[in-house]
Structure 1
Amino acid sequence: MSRRSLLRGSVAAGATLLAAGCGVPAAYVEEGARAGRDLSARDRTLDFANWPLYIDTDDEDPRKRPTLDAFREETGIAVRYTEEINDNDEFFGKISPSLMNHQETGRDLIVISDWMAARFVRLGWVQEMDRAAQPNVAKNLAAQLRTPAFDPGRLHSVPWQSGITGIAYNRRRLGRELRSTEELWADDLRGKVTLLSGLDESLSLLLQGDGVDVTRWTADDFHAVCERIEGLVRRKHIRRFTGNDYIKDLSTGDVLACQAYSGDVIQLQADNPDIEFVVPEEGAELWAESLMIPNLAQHKSNAEKLVDHYYRPEVAAELAAWVNYVCPVPAAQNVLADSGDEELVALAEDPLIFPDADMRSRLTIMRDIRSDERQEFAKKWNAIVGL
């Protein structure tokens, strides 16, 4: 089961939390109140919260994590690593009371999806990182990921891994190629198409399929997409909306085409070479899940060192070879290509891990759903998902 095979959280829950917490002006933390007492110099530890199945492990002993072990051996900093993030909204609910009340969370480093990271930045709940202490980040971060709208200059966030939300399909069963989002609505796919149920996960691809610039989409664009999708649901063209269980549907042949994540498809292809992944002609979303340092973290300097460790090309390559998502460190491609290992060389040549120039030209980072839009849009989208 891939890391993304764990459900990432419902938009409805996010809307509720937004109304209960994010919409309260008092929740905002001013810049001067975000830093805590940094104990890094005397306490050579840090607490790192991540998603399950999202870091390299030793084949013989899954409790060992080679890239973390190498960091400890090199720096003397021990990492207390927990796989406690199963859902963006659930994790938000877990740590938001502390952040809202100007208390430390017990975590020095967290990984959350960029749409949730945008919420943390807006609320002033994460600290700016010291890039002078992170030369590898400054040098090696992929250009396309450097300036997200929610965090200009990536001052508060650094991508852990990236990925693409595109189209997966079974070419042998379908009997033809798919090259555009518009082709999902062809008559021979009636009842054999699924879309992702999460608004943040599904919207970009659908907007791009309508020719919308997703860096500046409007409420009118959103409602036009909803009108189209509602019609397709009522005509039973769309079979259903899914979490990551589209993997099973696609594997069994119950669906022929679906919205899908690039990392999942790499793993599916190992068992079924008929499965293909497409970045549509109209474009697809390049997303990231990012490392952030919460307010009042007690080991900020240690956390910054760990972030920079993962931006060394050889470390990024080791991680990419295990997780199979889009690597945010392009220089890691040469490390794998020069490894002499047949499987690693193949990964270096895989455009779903290292997109080529043509593919990157069709990838865009969607602007975030603003706080004043989220509740209305989530209600509209969830009504369609529930039809």
Structure 2
Amino acid sequence: MSELTRRSLLRGTFGIGTAAALAGLAGCGVPPAYVRAAERAAPDRSAADRRLLFANWPLYIDVDDHDKQRRPTLDAFRRRTGISVTYTEEINDNDEFFGKISPALMNHQPTGRDLVVISDWMCARYVRLGWVQEMDRTAQPHVARNLDPQLASPSFDPARRHSVPWQSGITGIAYNRRRLGREIRSVSDLWHDDLRGRVSLFSGIDEAFALLLQGEGVDITRWRPDDFHRMADRLRRLVARGHIRRFTGNDYIKDLDSGDVLAAQAYSGDVIQLKADNPDIAFVVPEEGGELWAESMMIPNLAAHKRNAERLIDHYYRPDVAADLAAWVNYVCPVPAAREVLAASKDKERAALAEDPLIFPDAALRQRLATARDITAAERPALTGEWNAIVGL
């Protein structure tokens, strides 16, 4: 197994400086950097210039087994449409990429990109600021038909007019069943004495807070700041008595594999890959629930090839294409119809993916999944400051 997976690259730690900057932008009423809908579009060159530039995270797309520079699902799009794609793996951190393209967006200038993939908690800021364009869903029949209903209406973009999930995933708990010698069923199971000094949690507030709130019995779709403060109080006590070994980014994969930690807050897709090498590792969605998240495609303001980008998004919502992508990246597929494509495969390993609930959650699991409401611009400076003081950022 490659120890470096796409999701584990994500740091996502939304620093106080950037949070304060965004809060300043929000101000009262219409933020100074807000772009009105009428000012978001540029003349579309798609018909005459059959190409687009697609910015994504590393290790987040299928590659050819014999030529790592080739990406079969993109090649299929070019053959189907005649549109070529310049694909860049330039997004390594939500905060960093925001800083990279925000000067252009703030100043009503093109970013040079037609399509970007951003974590939904950060997508919310782009949508609020009016920095991304509304899509023409009539040009995206596969999206309209095949988008997972559980991902179809996030609070920041209720009709998904500005964003479409690229991949999804679950934040839950990974643990070494053999070394721990018991099952973990609840977030509270992490706080038992036999795990003192052997637990890790995510360091980024946006990656960590929802699951911890769920452990407190909070409905994360409508949590309140008081809920956050109560959770933070518990976490402070756990840190003070040395129960949390450390707060991590992708390091939790190494720590679990080596046995330095026995239980960790974890992403479903990472654990699928980790279990392939270490069958003692288990992943659980706690009884209280787990967070269902997505990373979504958006078209920045003044993109020169909007129609081409819309067609590429729709391409990835064809069940056969979604199946190819899911088989490679192993995250929750936002196209449930892809399950039938994989199930019909003559390749046993590929067909087995159709039965993996961490790629295609069943009805029972879905009942325990929820998507957290976003931390608002007004809440973020105080909550991020409180969080960072706890985790030592």
Fold shared, TM-score > 0.5 on shorter chain? yes
Match in the other structure for 1:104: 110
Alignment match of 2:119 (pick from 113, 136, 139): 113
How far off is 1:18 after superposition?
A: 2.3
**What is the aligned counterpart of 2:13 among 2, 10, 15?**
10
Q: For 1:9 and 1:284, locate their aligned partners in 2 and report how far apart those are by CA, in whole Å.
A: 19
Paired with 2:25 and 2:100, the residues of 1 have a C-alpha distance of: 12
TM-score (norm 2): 0.97
- Identify the residue that residue 283 of structure 1 maps to in structure 2: 289
One-letter identity of the residue aligned with 1:344: R
Summarize the alignment of residues 65-80 of structure 1 with structure 2, pairs less than 5 Å apart.
65-80=71-86
Aligned counterpart, 1:203: 209
Q: Does 1:221 align with 2:224?
A: no
Aligned length: 387
- Matched residue, 2:354: 348
* 3-state SS in 1 of match to 2:210: helix
Cα offset, 1:5, TM superposition: 2.4
Alpha-carbon distance, 1:58 to partner: 0.3
8 Å contact from structure 1 (residues 17, 93) kept in 2: no
Instruction: Give how far 1:340 is off.
Output: 1.3
**Cα shift readout 1:121-165 (whole Å, capped 9, x = no counterpart):** 000000000000100000000010001000011010000000000
Q: Is structure 2 residue 69 aligned with structure 1 residue 63?
A: yes
Taking the TM superposition and a 5 Å limit, the aligned residue runs for 1:7-156 are 7-12=10-15, 14-19=18-23, 25-156=31-162
Which of 237, 254, 257 does residue 260 from structure 2 map onto? Answer: 254
Letter in 2 for 1:80: T
| C-alpha deviation, 1:22, in angstroms | 5.5
Deviations 1:10-50 (A, max 9, x none): 22254254256565921000111111110001000001000
1:269 aligned partner, one-letter code = K
Match of 2:189 in 1: 183
Amino acid in the other structure paired with 1:173? R
CA drift of 1:345 comes to 1.1
Q: What do you get for the CA RMSD once the two structures are aligned? A: 1.2
Q: Where do 5+ consecutive residues of structure 1 fail to align?
A: none
Contact 2:26 2:32 (C-alpha < 8 Å) held by counterparts: no
Write the letter of the residue equivalent to 1:32: A
What CA distance in whole angstroms lies between the structure 2 residues aligned with 1:40 and 1:356?
A: 39
Q: Which amino acid in 1 is paired with 2:14?
A: V
When normalised by structure 1's length, the TM-score is 0.98
Q: Displacement, 1:314?
A: 0.2
Number of the residue aligned with 1:332: 338
